[in-house]
Structure 1
Amino acid sequence: VPTDSTVYDMIAGNLLKPLDLSKTPNFANVSPQLKKPPYDPTNQFTVPYQWGTIGIGYNKKKVGKTITSWNDMFDYQGTVAWLDDERAMLGIALKLLGFDPNTTNADEVAKAADYLKTHAANLKVIAPDDGQDRLARGEEDMVVEYSGDIFHLIADCKCDDFAYVIPQEGTRVWVDNMAIPATAPHPDLAEAFIDYVLDSQVGADISNFTAYASPNQAAIDDGLIQQSYLSNASIYPNATVTKSLFYVVSSPEIAPIFTKNWDALKATLQRNP
């Protein structure tokens, strides 16, 4: 189940087998907005499995106000954790500076790294994908994290302590995908499984469990998605919010620029877990 940015590398490396969409009729259930994505413009190799955003999860009681902006996080007087995701964090800074989050301009990426460095006064840690656990333990008041992870925390705690927000300036949208390895011994079986996952009820069951957004428009139209999730604009953003989201575009030219600046920033800040 490769995520969108990984698909670029897998296609370039001839690691994926082309799909025969005639064998996956339930592909018709996929939302039009999630078909033909930038990382696979003809869906030759992938179909979407789950999608979501990277935003701010926070402890409402400790923070004491509704968070709406990245500036709310950067200006917060308590403790904060960033996600160790170079394309998300630098992309967010680029967007705040008015640059393309997928720029190939090294100077612009360096400016984004400088922006993060000068807005790290409240940063306690640059964490792996465990922000939800850090919130639950009370280690930080606010974290940059995947949407579904925070909604899992909200469901599991059976409390009203936590919230997730897509900041108004926008953020990274990601899509995890189903794909078949180029060397798969039973590709017909794999395509049958993909078609099964794309069934509207199966797709709804998965998203109702993961708390991530379903790419299955039929599941949405048939009322199979849990209403508390479907009505939550931080899981299923409206058209205005959707326009503020950005995909990560990956290429051999872009990747080293981001990695170099992110590694240097982490070495400077020394906020390791």
Structure 2
Amino acid sequence: MKKLLALLAFVSLALAQSKEMRLFIWSEYIDPAIISAFEKQYGLKVRIELYESNEDMLAKLQAGGVSQYDVIVPGDYIIPTLVALKLVQPLDKSKLPNLKNLDPKFANPPFDPGNQYSAAYQWGMSGIMYRKDRVKTPPDSWAVIFDPKQSGSYVLMDSIREMMGAALRYLGYSINTRDPKQVQAAGKLLLEAKKSKRAVGFEGGVGAKNRLVAGSATYAVVYNGDAIKAASENPNVAFVVPKEGAALFLDNMAIPAKAPNPDAAHKFINFILDGKIGAQLSNYNRYATPNKAALPFINKADLKNPAIYPTESVKAKLEFVLDLGKDARLYDEVWTQVKSR
């Protein structure tokens, strides 16, 4: 009898999982209407859980999430780590006919050659969001964060590579430097910024944007899409890429190694890669699309907005955040010191 009950429980769980798709994603990063359309088309229920940084997502996967979620949305630099730790599974491209819609420059990324484990989701950049009603002239440099002679309160981004990258670029170094002295110098600068009386604190995800909109700071280090969405709702905020440069990111979709419903995961990824759905995603998120088939359906004003689709001169100042392998420990050690002191 016990064996029969156990079998029935297992069958019930399997049936429930086959009708469900579990998405682990950043806050405010997908149009709810897209989720509803996917559920209606495939008869699946989507359960969503949120995270605020790549590091939080990685920790959750290592703590058992690898068998709890079907789709995750990792940043570029974390994917080699996910692959090395065997936390993601290869994509079955026979189930992803819309993969062909990706712009060629996003179809063979250096962090995942041939898109073996991931498919591009959105791309964008970090920079400075500011209150137009509190500054006389728009900021053009990371100096508003790192120069102690400047005025105005600020919120720092709780993301190691973007925030360290800002400090490195301000010092004239590459976001991906492997030089210990340069990394340590950036850490020292960041620690001084954290301890400043102007500092409001660290915020992950959309937290910095929300605090600036609420009026608790004059500047915030944010992702451009968060700032653009806020600016459309509040005329007192704007976004700028500092003249020293900033981090360029490409977020992606991947499937955890022990996903409960990998078939549903492939359906979801292929759904997002549809041209019209891809445009709907970017029109909602206000981030740039890596989907070439989506471009004809993107809001014309967004296509012309340099804060979403930057000019070539701005692009030249942006750097992809790369996986640094064993040298990533340099950043981890410095970041730990910054956050703990």
TM superposition score normalised by structure 1: 0.89
Question: What residue number does 1:146 align with?
Answer: 223
Question: What residue number does 2:319 align with?
Answer: 246
CA shift for structure 1 position 52? 1.3
Match of 1:207 among 282, 291, 294: 282
CA shift for structure 1 position 104? 2.4
Per-residue CA deviations over 1:246-270 (Å, capped at 9, x if unaligned) read 22223441232112112212334xx
Task: Indicate yes or no: 2:120 matched with 1:48.
Answer: yes
Question: What residue number does 2:37 align with?
Answer: none
Task: Indicate yes or no: 2:238 matched with 1:163.
Answer: yes
Question: What residue number does 1:233 align with?
Answer: 306
Amino acid at match of 1:10: L
Work out whether residues 187 and 338 of structure 2, in 8 Å CA contact, stay in contact via their aligned partners in 1: yes
Question: What residue number does 1:13 align with?
Answer: 85
CA shift for structure 1 position 72? 4.0
Match of 2:162 among 88, 103, 127: 88
Per-residue CA deviations over 1:9-61 (Å, capped at 9, x if unaligned) read 21111122212334322222212222222221221100111121111111001
- Greater RCO, 1 or 2 (C-alpha within 8 Å, sep 6+): 1
Query: Take 1:132 and 1:116, find their aligned partners in 2: how far apart are those partners?
Result: 20
Relative to 1, partners in 2 of residues 1:46 and 1:264: Cα closer, same or farther, differing over 3 Å? same
Query: Take 2:128 and 2:306, find their aligned partners in 1: how far apart are those partners?
Result: 14
Query: Take 2:257 and 2:192, find their aligned partners in 1: how far apart are those partners?
Result: 45
CA shift for structure 1 position 4? 1.7
Task: Indicate yes or no: 2:328 matched with 1:255.
Answer: yes
1:34-113 correspondence to structure 2 within 5 Å? 34-75=106-147, 76-113=150-187
CA RMSD, 1 decimal: 2.0
Query: Take 1:168 and 1:28, find their aligned partners in 2: how far apart are those partners?
Result: 35
115-124 or 41-50, larger mean C-alpha shift = 115-124
Question: What residue number does 2:251 align with?
Answer: 176
Structure ID, larger Rg: 2
CA shift for structure 1 position 106? 1.8
Amino acid at match of 1:150: A
Query: Take 1:197 and 1:39, find their aligned partners in 2: how far apart are those partners?
Result: 21
Query: Take 2:93 and 2:241, find their aligned partners in 1: how far apart are those partners?
Result: 33
Amino acid at match of 2:139: I
Amino acid at match of 2:202: I
Amino acid at match of 1:214: T
Query: Take 2:186 and 2:142, find their aligned partners in 1: how far apart are those partners?
Result: 14
Work out whether residues 172 and 247 of structure 1, in 8 Å CA contact, stay in contact via their aligned partners in 2: yes
177-186 or 10-19, larger mean C-alpha shift = 177-186
Query: Take 1:88 and 1:7, find their aligned partners in 2: how far apart are those partners?
Result: 16
CA shift for structure 1 position 138? 0.8
Q: Which runs of 5+ in 2 are unaligned?
A: 1-72
Relative to 1, partners in 2 of residues 1:104 and 1:73: Cα closer, same or farther, differing over 3 Å? closer
Query: Take 2:249 and 2:108, find their aligned partners in 1: how far apart are those partners?
Result: 14
Per-residue CA deviations over 1:218-255 (Å, capped at 9, x if unaligned) read 211x2x11122221111111222222212222344123
Q: Give the secondary structure class of the aligned counterpart of 1:182.
A: coil
Question: What residue number does 1:271 align with?
Answer: none
Q: Which runs of 5+ in 1 are unaligned?
A: 269-273
Question: What residue number does 2:49 align with?
Answer: none
Query: Take 2:259 and 2:337, find their aligned partners in 1: how far apart are those partners?
Result: 39
Amino acid at match of 1:8: P
Query: Take 2:264 and 2:162, find their aligned partners in 1: how far apart are those partners?
Result: 35
Question: What residue number does 1:24 align with?
Answer: 96
Work out whether residues 51 and 174 of structure 1, in 8 Å CA contact, stay in contact via their aligned partners in 2: yes
Question: What residue number does 2:262 align with?
Answer: 187
Query: Take 2:261 and 2:339, find their aligned partners in 1: how far apart are those partners?
Result: 43
Work out whether residues 145 and 193 of structure 2, in 8 Å CA contact, stay in contact via their aligned partners in 1: no
Match of 2:190 among 93, 102, 116: 116
TM superposition score normalised by structure 2: 0.72
CA shift for structure 1 position 90? 1.4
